[in-house]
Structure 1
Amino acid sequence: MTKLAAVMRAAFAVFSGRPLQQGYVNSRASRVAVRRAVAELEPDLIYFNTLRSGQWRKVVRDTPARMAIDLDEFRSAYYQQASEVSTILKRLVMKMEARRMRAEEAKIVAEFEAVIISSPADLRPEHSNVHLVRSPHALKTAHRPVPLADRPTIVFVGRMSYAANVEAVTRFCRDVLPAVRQQVPEVQLEVVGDAPTKAIRSLADGHVRVHGRVDSVDEHYLSAWLSIVPVTTATGVQMKLIESLELGVPTVASPLVASLAGARAGVDVAVADTADEWIEEVVRLLESPMERQELGRSGKAWARQNYSVDSITRALGAALLEPRSAAQHTAAE
C-alpha cells in the first residue's frame, strides 16, 4: 500500500460518501487479506482497531465470531472542533468528515458487539456495548532522583508540531505568562516536545526554554514545580495529563482536558479556563508548596488507580467477554 495510492483513495472517498479516514486504507488487497485470515483462522473474536478498519466488518459479516472494535474515542468530535478554527477550505473538509464519521460511528455502535473507548466522556448509557477501557500506560515503579528546579518552573510536554499543542503554548505565553511573571518574577516555562515549529522556537527567551525532542521526559516533569495542559481542542484522553499526574507533578489543565480524562477538578487536577483563571491558579500553586504537594499526591493516586494493569485488564476482559444481548444478535445478523 503506497502513500500515493492511499491519498488517491482518500480523494475518491470525497465522492463516494465514506469518511476520508476509511477511504485512505480501503484497498482491495486489504479486504482480501482480512477475508482470507478470518477464513483460515476461524477466530472466536475479531478485534478491529480504530474506525478506519471498522469498514472491514462487512467483509466478514457472515462469520459467527464476536466482533469488537477499539475506537479509542469518537473522533468525529475532533473534526467538528477543528472545523471551527480552520481556514475556509479546510473548514469545509473538516465539517464533511465530521458528519460522515458521526454517521459511521453510529453504525459501528449499532453493529458491533463491543465498542471500546478510552474516555469516560464518550460513554453512552443508552448503549451497553460501549465500554470504557483506559489506554495502557507504563506506570513508573521507580525513578532516578531528580531535584526540584531552583527557580519556579512550569513544564509543558507534547509533540510541538501538533496544532492544538502549538496553539495552547502560544496562548499561554501570550495571555498568561507575562502576568504570572509580575507576581513570580523568576518563573520559567520549559517546553518539551518533538519538532517544535518556528512559532514555538520564537518564544524562547530568558523565561521560556524550548527543548525539542529529549531522550526522556521524566526528568523535565520531576524537576518542575508545576505541569500545564492548556489544550482546548481535544478528544479522548490527553496522555500528557496522565504522565504528569502519574509522576506526582501538580498539574493545571483546561476544563476540557480534565473532563475527558474523568479527573476530579480541584482534587486530582487544578482547572482553569479563562486567562485570569490560569493566572490565579498558576500563581497560587507556585507560591504554595503545601498545596502543590497535596494536589500532586491526589493526582498520582487517581492515575495509579485508573491506569494500573489490573484495572485495565479487568475492563478489557469485561468488554470482550460480555455475552451478546438479543439486540446485538439482531444487529449482527
Structure 2
Amino acid sequence: MDDILFLAHRIPFPPDRGDKIRSWHMLKHLAGLARVHLACFADDRADAAHLPALREAIGAALGDVHIEIRRTGKASAGLKAIANGRPASLTLFDSAALRSFVRRSLASGRIGTIFAYSGQMAQFVPDPCPARFVMDFVDMDSAKFAAYSKTAPLPMRWVHAREAERLFAFERATAARADASLFVSEAEAALFRDRTGLAGIHAISNGIDLGVFDPGASFPRLAEADRGAGPILLFTGQMDYAPNVDAVTWFAREILPAIPGRFVIAGRNPAPTVRALAGPRIEVTGAVSDMRSWLAEADIVVAPLRIARGIQNKVLEAMAMARPVVASPAAFEGIEAEPGRDLIVADDAQRMADAINNLLVAPARAFAVGAAARAAMVRDYGWDRRLAPLADLIAPGARAAA
C-alpha cells in the first residue's frame, strides 16, 4: 500500500483529551496498514515535546513529521476571518509552512492517501488532490456553532451564527471533493447527509481502550482524605470547553440542590466560571494525573451536557470503568447502549435528580447498571473493532484482492 499523509490540528499524542484520543487511535491503526507521514500543530512547547514519545510509540511506520506550534490567537483569527470572508476555524489554524510540507510530500510520489483529521485541516489538501482524500470531520462543527448562536449573548450570537454559516459551506465543499468523509457517530453522519445530500458519508465511532479503562487495572487509588465521606457525583472533561462549562454550571444550579453527595468536577484548565463553583459541596480538581482514580471512586458519573456533538468519550470511559452513568440525551447520542440497562438517560433537571436519587438509595441497582455498562463496552467498543472499516476506505478492494 502507498504511504499515507496524516494531517491533524493537534499532535495526536498523548491520548489524554477527546480529540487526541481519536486521532491517536486513527494514526496508530493507519500505521498498521502503511507507512504514515504526519503534519500537525501543537498548542505550545510542552505539547510539541511529545513528538519523541509519539515516534517511539509508532516505531518505524512513522516517516516524515512536520510539527509547529500554533501561535494565532482567537481574536487575531477572528479579524482575519472577517477580512477574508473565511470561517475563523480555518484562519486559526492556517500555516504557509504546513502547506509547503504537504506540497513536498505529494511531490515525492510516495503518498497514496491524505487523511485529514478535523475539518480545519482540509484547507491543506490541494484541489484537485493527486491522492485519495479521506476526511475525518469527527463532528459536524457547523452545527455546534449554530447551537452556540441560539444561547450566546450578543454580540457572540452573531459571531457564532456567522461561523456556522461559513463553516457549513466549507464542510459541504470539502465533503463534495473527498473520496470518503467520516463522522464519529451515525447520528452525525445522518445529519450531514440530510443537510448536504452528499454520498460517501460514513460513521466510524470512537472506541475505548478496554485494558486501560478497566476497574481491575493497576492505577493509583485515591487517598481516604480525598475520597471523603458520602456519595461522589463525578463529571470529567476539559473544563475550559464551553459545553462542559455549561453542563457543570447547570448541574450545580438546577440539580445538585435536590440530591445528596459531593459534586466533583475533574479536568484540566477549569474556566473562571467553573472555579467559582467550588464550595462545601463542589470540588474543582483541575488536571488530575490519572482520571481512573476518580472514576473508580465515583458513586455516579454524570454527563448533563445540553450542547454536545458526536460521541462523548467521558461517557465511554465511565462505562468501561463499570460506573453507573446518568446522562442527558445529548451526551447519550451516538452511543450504542440500552438506556435503563447500561446507563440512565434523563432529559431534564427533575428527571436527572430523580435518577441520581434512585441509584443512590439502591446500591444493588447502581452496581447492576455499572456492570451492564462494562459489558456493553467489552462487547462493542474495542478500538480494533471500531476502526476495522478504515482499511477499505483507505484502499478500496485491497483486502479482497489480497
TM-score range, shorter chain: 0.7 to 0.9
Give the superposition deviation at 1:56.
2.8
SS at 2:115's partner residue? Answer: strand
Q: Deviations over 1:11-32 (max 9, x none)?
A: 2332333222122333443333
- Aligned partner of 1:331 in structure 2 is none
Can you give the 5+ residue segments of structure 2 that lack an aligned partner in the other structure?
Answer: 1-67
Equivalent residue for 1:40, pick from 99, 105, 108: 108
Change (3 A) 1:220 1:62: closer
- Aligned partner of 2:128 in structure 1 is 61
Measured in 1, the distance between the counterparts of 2:294 and 2:77 equals 42
SS at 1:195's partner residue? Answer: coil
- Aligned partner of 2:239 in structure 1 is 160
Q: Hey, which bits of structure 1, 4+ residues long, moved more than 4 A? A: 4-10, 125-128, 145-150
Identical amino acids, percent of aligned pairs: 26
1:11 corresponds to 2:72 = no
- Aligned partner of 2:351 in structure 1 is 277
1:134 corresponds to 2:208 = no
Q: TM-score, structure 1 length as denominator?
A: 0.86
Equivalent residue for 1:87, pick from 136, 153, 156: 153
Residue 163 of structure 1 aligns with an amino acid whose one-letter code is A
Change (3 A) 1:266 1:61: same
Residue 252 of structure 2 aligns with an amino acid whose one-letter code is C
Asked whether the equivalents of residues 226 and 251 of structure 1 are also in contact (C-alpha less than 8 Å), the reply is: yes
Asked whether the equivalents of residues 208 and 320 of structure 2 are also in contact (C-alpha less than 8 Å), the reply is: no
Change (3 A) 1:205 1:25: closer
1:308 corresponds to 2:387 = no
SS at 1:176's partner residue? Answer: helix
Q: Deviations over 1:32-89 (max 9, x none)?
A: 32122101143221111221121233x25151x2111111111111111111121212
Asked whether the equivalents of residues 328 and 348 of structure 2 are also in contact (C-alpha less than 8 Å), the reply is: no
Measured in 2, the distance between the counterparts of 1:48 and 1:60 equals 14
- Aligned partner of 2:326 in structure 1 is 252
Moved more, 139-148 or 293-302: 139-148
Measured in 1, the distance between the counterparts of 2:71 and 2:322 equals 41
Asked whether the equivalents of residues 45 and 67 of structure 1 are also in contact (C-alpha less than 8 Å), the reply is: yes
Q: Which has the higher contact order (CA 8 A, sep 6+)?
A: 1
Give the superposition deviation at 1:277.
0.4
Give the superposition deviation at 1:297.
1.7
SS at 2:205's partner residue? Answer: coil
Give the superposition deviation at 1:323.
5.6
Query: What value does the CA root-mean-square deviation take over the aligned residues?
Result: 2.6
Change (3 A) 1:127 1:202: same
Give the superposition deviation at 1:127.
4.8
Asked whether the equivalents of residues 38 and 60 of structure 1 are also in contact (C-alpha less than 8 Å), the reply is: no
Measured in 1, the distance between the counterparts of 2:316 and 2:389 equals 18
Residue 301 of structure 1 aligns with an amino acid whose one-letter code is A
